[in-house]
């Protein structure tokens, strides 16, 4: 790092920094999952997302040699995610990525985060291992994985999630949930191992290899929102301790515009969030409700008459919640999902498993709780 100066800037970034970062990123990334141009402008700050970028400049020329960004919620942050770690090719081999990653991780810890996550290629010489990060899944049989660094001065993230007696609340998802949703998806969720069938999100508790991190929430949020759907989160003791999330996405018009796909998942310690999510999502399209009609009009759910959901055989909690809310089993798709090995032994073993398709007409009865 000799001859290089590291600084940290909170978003929105000043225009000179935005211009330098564009020149640094453009040769390698034409489009980033994290939407870096809006992020640098601070577009997500109004939606509860705190972002900061560490910059390494060459002292002699003033040229930007590398950068790294960390994101966490603005209010009561508990988890951070690191992304967009990049070094100019002409400056590589000087420890820049390590220094920048340490800088943004320390920033997240200083703000109160218990843990910081990132996604990286899986190899024994990964630079992030020198920054205090560890792979959350052992072994080298997959090309990429999620890593975690723990703040020794804060409560462990797992204990925060599993803390009993937390009052659950429901609200629409926002960009401030970016890190919290990534953290939930990195947990070993046994009761609801298929987090989102439509987007292919699954839990490591049943042998699935997970590699998404900073892109987890943006991909999910933009896929649902872009289709005119609704994404909601259930949170625990703090506003961004996300213990469950669910979505309702209308089918592609015009042939399936009357149908919507429901996705729900929840932390093992907070399965009551499944009912909370179902109540909120179904209320957005329930017939005969003026409030629901207004909520549906904000999306593209007004014409929905049938809601469908998919459940793997081992997802007993999800199946029970759907049944309580008036869903009925319509068909079974044999061998529709493949559970991995390794940790899978704790949740019914690996191999192919049937998926059930459950449906509910919106004219049906209210949930039986």
List, for residues 314-326, the tens digit of each pLDDT value. 999 999 999 999 9
Per-residue confidence (pLDDT) for residue 256, from 0 to 100: 62
Task: Decide whether 4-115 matches 162-361 in CATH topology.
Answer: yes
Per-residue confidence (pLDDT) for residue 254, from 0 to 100: 57
* Per-domain boundaries in the chain: 4-115, 162-361
Residue 162 Cα to chain centre, angstroms? 18
Give the DSSP per-residue string, 20-47.
HHHHHHTTT-SS-TT-HHHHHHTTTGGG
Domain 162-361 architecture: 3-Layer(aba) Sandwich (3.40)
List the chain pLDDT tens, one digit each, 369 residues.
788 999 999 999 999 999 999 899 887 765 554 578 899 999 999 999 999 999 999 999 999 999 999 999 999 999 999 988 999 999 999 999 999 999 999 999 999 999 999 999 999 999 999 999 999 988 777 778 899 999 998 888 888 888 888 999 999 999 999 999 999 998 888 899 888 988 888 888 776 777 778 889 999 999 999 888 999 999 999 989 999 999 999 876 556 657 899 999 999 999 999 999 999 999 888 744 444 444 445 666 777 889 999 999 899 999 999 999 999 999 999 988 888 754 443 445 668 889 999 999 986 444 444
Q: Tokens for 215?
A: 């892109």
Per-residue confidence (pLDDT) for residue 315, from 0 to 100: 93
Closest by alpha carbon to 273, among 366, 329, 361, 189?
A: 189
Per-residue confidence (pLDDT) for residue 364, from 0 to 100: 47
Closest by alpha carbon to 246, among 313, 338, 325, 303?
A: 325
Whether 101 contacts 128, CB under 8 Å: yes
Hunting for tokens 């999306």 — which residue is that?
299
Per-residue confidence (pLDDT) for residue 31, from 0 to 100: 54
Whether 190 contacts 347, CB under 8 Å: yes
Interior/surface letters 31-41, b for 16+ CB within 10 angstroms, e for the rest: ebbbebeebbe
Fold of 4-115: Aminopeptidase (3.40.630)
């Amino acid at each position: 790092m000799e001859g290089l100066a590291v600084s940290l800037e909170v978003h929105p970034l000043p225009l000179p920094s935005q211009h330098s970062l564009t020149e640094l990123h453009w040769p390698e990334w034409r489009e980033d999952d994290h939407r870096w141009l809006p992020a640098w402008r601070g577009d997500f700050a109004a939606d509860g997302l705190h972002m900061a970028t560490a910059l390494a400049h060459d002292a002699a020329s003033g040229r930007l040699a590398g950068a790294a960004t960390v994101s966490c919620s603005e209010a009561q942050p508990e988890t951070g995610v690191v992304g967009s770690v990049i070094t100019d090719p002409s400056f590589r081999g000087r420890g820049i990525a390590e220094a920048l990653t340490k800088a943004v991780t320390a920033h997240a810890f200083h703000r109160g985060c218990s843990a910081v996550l990132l996604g990286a290629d899986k190899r024994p010489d990964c630079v992030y291992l020198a920054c205090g990060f560890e792979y959350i899944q052992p072994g080298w049989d997959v090309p990429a994985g999620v890593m975690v660094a723990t703040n020794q001065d804060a409560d462990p993230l797992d204990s925060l999630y599993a803390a009993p007696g937390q009052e659950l609340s429901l609200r629409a998802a926002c960009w401030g949930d970016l890190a919290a949703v990534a953290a939930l998806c990195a947990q070993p969720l046994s009761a609801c191992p298929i987090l989102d069938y439509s987007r292919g999100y699954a839990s490591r508790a049943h042998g699935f290899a997970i590699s998404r991190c900073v892109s987890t929430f943006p991909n999910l949020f933009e896929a649902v929102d872009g289709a005119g759907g609704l994404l909601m989160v259930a949170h625990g003791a703090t506003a961004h301790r996300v213990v469950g999330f669910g979505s309702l996405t209308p089918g592609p018009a015009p042939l399936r515009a009357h149908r919507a796909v429901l996705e729900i998942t929840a932390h093992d310690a907070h399965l009551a969030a499944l009912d909370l999510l179902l109540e909120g999502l179904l209320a957005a399209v329930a017939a005969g409700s003026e409030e629901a009609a207004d909520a549906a009009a904000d999306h593209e759910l007004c014409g929905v008459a049938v809601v469908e959901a998919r459940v793997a055989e081992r997802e007993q909690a999800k199946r029970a919640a759907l049944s309580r809310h008036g869903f009925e089993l319509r068909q079974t798709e044999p061998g529709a999902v493949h559970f991995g090995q390794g940790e899978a032994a704790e949740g019914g073993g690996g191999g192919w498993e049937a998926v059930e398709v459950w449906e509910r007409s919106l004219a049906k009865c209210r949930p039986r709780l």
